[in-house]
Chains A and B, each alone.
Chain A
Amino acid sequence: MSVIQLAGIERVFHLGDSTVHALTHLDVSIEAGEYVAIMGPSGSGKSTLLNLLGLLDRPDAGSYHLEGRDVTTLSPDEQAAVRSRRIGFVFQSFHLVPRLTAAENVALPMMLAGIPAAERAQRVAQALKDFGLDQRADHRPDQLSGGQRQRVAIARATIMQPAVLLADEPTGNLDRATGDDVIHLLEVLNERGMTLIIVTHDQKIGSRARRQLMMEDGELRHDSARPAVTSPMP
């Protein structure tokens, strides 16, 4: 069964008089454990798609089934619960809370989910160890390097053991070597069974994924899993 199933998705933005079709006629399904790269030029709708997959945004039309459940019709609170338990986010700019330590940042999703402090502490300690951050537990984000910050962010995104990990340009603010480390880390998580969806405009990173989705003007131009269906690459 597909972990993600999108059918007939439309997302339209109104900017004054003009309308922008950020996503049109989108039909995609992604199996559990897949490693997918969403690629395409700037403004092609990659982030919009990722936000939609992460339930941060709602489509104007179409249906989205996550693990077999129609999540577009859920109430905001139900969607928050799905984000909490089933979805992990990694952002280009890390999005760590500056006043919290690395450990507190990693614990944040568990705190929001109401998990008791004792269990949080134990799971955070384990996660920091897994990500090689145990020496940095009490450091604040401004005391960490870019690579360390992104590792904290990945630890945080995976601490609730989500089904799907969404990463929007996770290496965009990192140098090549550090970026490769981060991608490697994400790939390890994918190998352990987590569905991984990365937005990138970096060809090299994109080509490492087992499946590529090429976006252009809000449309899915090419899906490496279904090469025959779409129009030829320009």
Chain B
Amino acid sequence: MRNADVLRFARDAAAGYPLRTSLSVLAMAIGVAAVVVLTALGDGARRYVVDQFSALGSNLVIVLPGRSATGGFSPANAVTTTPRDLTVDDAFALSRLPSVRRVAPLTAGTSEINANGRLRETVVAGTSSTYLDIRSFKMAQGAFLPVADWNRGAPVAVIGSKIKEEIFGAAPAVGELIRLGDRRLRIIGVLKSVGQGLGMNTDEVVFVPVNVAQSMFNSNTLFRVLIEARSRDQIEGVKAEVAAVLKARHGGEEDITVITQDAVLATFDKLLRALTAAVAGIAAISLAVAGILVMNVMLVAVTQRTSEIGLLMALGARGATIRDAFMAEAAMLSVVGALTGYGLGLFGAFVLRQMYPVFPAYPPNWAVIAALVTALSTGLLFGIMPARRAARLDPVQALMKH
């Protein structure tokens, strides 16, 4: 029997029993769709986090007050209590290290912004002119905070794009005076929209010189010191030097934590990859179940079509031909199921992306390939037994069945 004929025969046989066929196709499709959607979710979470950290800027080293217990990074100890304040002077000392390109102090708090007859609560970030380049932000209008002594910043403010829109709408904001808490500040720039980053939505932040923020909140401490190393290779060196300098300045106490973007990224990346793989593994169980279903469907097919098998033998079919025909049918159920499931899965991921636009829910290639290969091989594997059973039937006995 020619291969094309085997395929056509198997196709017609599958089409001849629509309920049975659609059931096993559905089971296979659900298995594959589950793998595709769940890995899209897992990998989407990974990409989301990676994108968030990448958005922080390159070659970034972050100093936070407080010693982390392990020295490594975990979300739990990212925010720790502060044994000794991290000050603007500390930040300035770090800016003189040779392998450091830029340093930006960062202090933060919430306050009320009052301008153009409108009032809203906002996050106020006190920082320096260097912050713009470290975070790779772009200006929509005007300029960022001017280069100045960190202890004598002018009464100016730079606002995020959402603040601008909510308070000024389409009207120009640069040059306008605002009230921020009990201060009067002049807007000198509006940032381009960037969205989420470093735990706050930059579009809803008002940036002011660090000393202005500190006197507003009546505090000397910094929330973070952001450091940009001169090159990627120097990140580890900077990390060590920063730790050494601050230890010396804090009287020999190691009371700060230095984290690098790479380390944070690598941890999250590893964590979320493992999560995605685990989720894919769980989803793959449904593929095995689908494979068993295909096997049972094919066993039913062999039983139901016993007299047809006897007839084929009487008409001169070899055992191998009958085996191939049933294998082809099992393979077709799996292929159609897998492709349907792939389509369903992509659609599911698309719906997820529509519902959560910030979430890049695309299934990773490895998961798609693994799901399709698993679907096909389980289908074939579980198809072998029924097909061999069909090929070994005794023709006389088979012909007597009805």
**Residues of A at under 8 Å CB distance from B?**
51, 54, 56-57, 76-77, 80-81, 83-85, 89, 91, 93, 95, 97-100, 108-109, 111-114, 116-117, 156, 160
B interface residues, how many (CB within 8 angstroms): 27
Verify if B12 is at the interface (C-beta below 8 Å from A).
yes
Closest Cβ neighbor of B16 among chain A residues: A99
Verify if B194 is at the interface (C-beta below 8 Å from A).
no
**Further 5 A-B residue pairs, CB within 8 A, beyond A83-B315, A89-B315, A91-B399:** A54-B314, A57-B396, A77-B320, A80-B318, A113-B316
A117: which B residues are within 8 A, CB to CB? 4-5
Instruction: List B residues 3-32 near A (Cβ within 8 Å).
Output: 4-5, 9, 12-13, 15-16
Q: Are A111 and B313 in contact (CB under 8 A)?
A: no
Closest 3 CB pairs of A and B: A84-B316, A99-B16, A56-B395
A228 to chain B: closest CB distance in Å?
A: 34
Q: Are B319 and A100 in contact (CB under 8 A)?
A: no
* Contact segment of B157-165, B289-297, B304-312: B304-312
Which of A57, A98, A100, A109 is the one whose CB lies under 8 Å from B315? A109
- Using known A-B contacts A56-B395, A56-B396, A57-B396, determine if residue A112 contacts B317 with beta carbons closer than 8 Å: yes
Verify if B321 is at the interface (C-beta below 8 Å from A).
yes
Verify if B152 is at the interface (C-beta below 8 Å from A).
no
A97: which B residues are within 8 A, CB to CB? 308, 311
Q: How far is the CA of A93 from the CA of B317 in the complex (A)?
A: 20
- Using known A-B contacts A95-B311, A112-B1, determine if residue A76 contacts B318 with beta carbons closer than 8 Å: yes
Q: How far is the CA of A76 from the CA of B311 in the complex (A)?
A: 16
Closest Cβ neighbor of A95 among chain B residues: B311
Can you pick out 10 interface pairs between chain A and chain B where the beta carbons lie within 8 Å of each other?
Answer: A51-B396, A56-B313, A56-B399, A76-B319, A80-B319, A81-B316, A95-B314, A108-B312, A112-B317, A156-B315
Closest Cβ neighbor of B316 among chain A residues: A84
Which of B4, B319, B399 is the one whose CB lies under 8 Å from A95? B399
1/0 per position for B318-333, CB-CB distance to A under 8 A?
Answer: 1111000000000000
B314: which A residues are within 8 A, CB to CB? 54, 56, 83, 89, 95
Closest Cβ neighbor of A115 among chain B residues: B2
B5: which A residues are within 8 A, CB to CB? 111, 114, 117
Q: How far is the CA of A155 from the CA of B272 in the complex (A)?
A: 66
Verify if B118 is at the interface (C-beta below 8 Å from A).
no
Closest Cβ neighbor of A109 among chain B residues: B315
- Using known A-B contacts A56-B396, A111-B9, A114-B2, determine if residue A80 contacts B313 with beta carbons closer than 8 Å: yes
List the count of A-B residue pairs having beta carbons below 8 Å apart: 70
**Residues of B at under 8 Å CB distance from A?**
1-2, 4-5, 9, 12-13, 15-16, 307-308, 310-321, 395-396, 399, 402
Q: How far is the CA of A83 from the CA of B399 in the complex (A)?
A: 15
- Using known A-B contacts A97-B308, A114-B2, determine if residue A109 contacts B316 with beta carbons closer than 8 Å: yes
B4: which A residues are within 8 A, CB to CB? 117
B243 to chain A: closest CB distance in Å?
A: 77
Closest Cβ neighbor of B4 among chain A residues: A117
Q: How far is the CA of A84 from the CA of B12 in the complex (A)?
A: 22
A56: which B residues are within 8 A, CB to CB? 313-314, 395-396, 399
Q: How far is the CA of A101 from the CA of B228 in the complex (A)?
A: 77
Closest Cβ neighbor of A153 among chain B residues: B311
B229 to chain A: closest CB distance in Å?
A: 71
Q: Are B316 and A99 in contact (CB under 8 A)?
A: no
B319: which A residues are within 8 A, CB to CB? 76-77, 80
A43 to chain B: closest CB distance in Å?
A: 14
A108: which B residues are within 8 A, CB to CB? 312, 315
In this complex, the member of A80, A95, A117, A156 whose beta carbon has the largest number of chain B beta carbons within 10 angstroms is A80
Q: How far is the CA of A89 from the CA of B316 in the complex (A)?
A: 10
A49 to chain B: closest CB distance in Å?
A: 12
A94 to chain B: closest CB distance in Å?
A: 10
Q: How far is the CA of A136 from the CA of B319 in the complex (A)?
A: 31
Q: How far is the CA of A109 from the CA of B315 in the complex (A)?
A: 6
Q: How far is the CA of A85 from the CA of B308 in the complex (A)?
A: 19
Q: Are A93 and B311 in contact (CB under 8 A)?
A: no
In this complex, the member of B12, B307, B314 whose beta carbon has the largest number of chain A beta carbons within 10 angstroms is B314
Q: How far is the CA of A85 from the CA of B12 in the complex (A)?
A: 25
Q: How far is the CA of A114 from the CA of B5 in the complex (A)?
A: 8
B311: which A residues are within 8 A, CB to CB? 95, 97
B1: which A residues are within 8 A, CB to CB? 111-114
Q: Are A84 and B395 in contact (CB under 8 A)?
A: no
- Using known A-B contacts A99-B13, A100-B12, A112-B321, determine if residue A85 contacts B316 with beta carbons closer than 8 Å: yes
Q: How far is the CA of A56 from the CA of B395 in the complex (A)?
A: 6
